[in-house]
Structure 1
């Protein structure tokens, strides 16, 4: 059975010093967590704004990725994948510009993808849980049922759901991420101060 490294071992000493350095900055983890929670609550309260911001960010990333593909293609003209890289750049930039030009349509398409993912993922979990009957299969089936129900609800509320689903999900994600940072910060603060060597 492997034991954790002791503080006398080189690995244990390095881990102790690193933990001491991180502990000194616990307040920054707390600030990051609080800011993330505030942003998450704001996105939950204004899901349309969050949805549009997410779509805008996707378009920026696609355009940036397309530009990188162009640069890569023209910097290696002799490479056999030149035209493939060039085509990928055109597609990325074209899709990014299309999303900027038609953000509402992009919201609807992304919401349909989310709804389908929830339905397929929920059905998969239900089928696997019911057929395998492993330990805790009921919870897995319940989780699958909730995903399935959520996906169907989103699907049935289209196109209205396109204006709030992405922003709401993003806000919930940021809320829980912020809580994680806050808990990490409080955990670091409660650690004993490292002994001065």
Structure 2
């Protein structure tokens, strides 16, 4: 077992780097799009800061459709879009597209839930002080919801780790690809075990870090 793992150690480190690259870049794009989506879902509600029930319904339907699609189906379905954006449908860069599209509606709902948890009294106080709607969003809602949003980002990153392993089944690279190429196709069980252990370590580390950051933000 030891000699087998040692022989693929360079591939193991490379696969870990590819997984982190896919997940971190996808997370960045997900936050950039998903957080405004969450704000819109809260703000366009009937009792929101800028009510627009029709838009709220449309956004809700789009988000629900995005969340209902199994990732492996989404991965295949948007292959033409992926090829159009990055020029290829395989590899680490190509995997970032479906990972981001899958995570945006998920994080959008998470952000919506976090923003709805903000005490309405704080919002009303900001209105009484003459703050505009976007000032309330940027200076009240998001700062007040920040600990919960950090935990939401943590959950999203962990979900993306799982998605990245699935993407490895279609040549996206990363630990999932390594586990399938060596652990499944070549029957090297030790490699499969090591990749699973690495994924568990990554999940535990990300969760602990997220909890720590959220805890520090809550105490402020």
Structure-1-length-normalised TM-score: 0.28
Structure number with the bigger relative contact order (C-alpha 8 A, sep ≥ 6) is 1
Larger Rg: 1
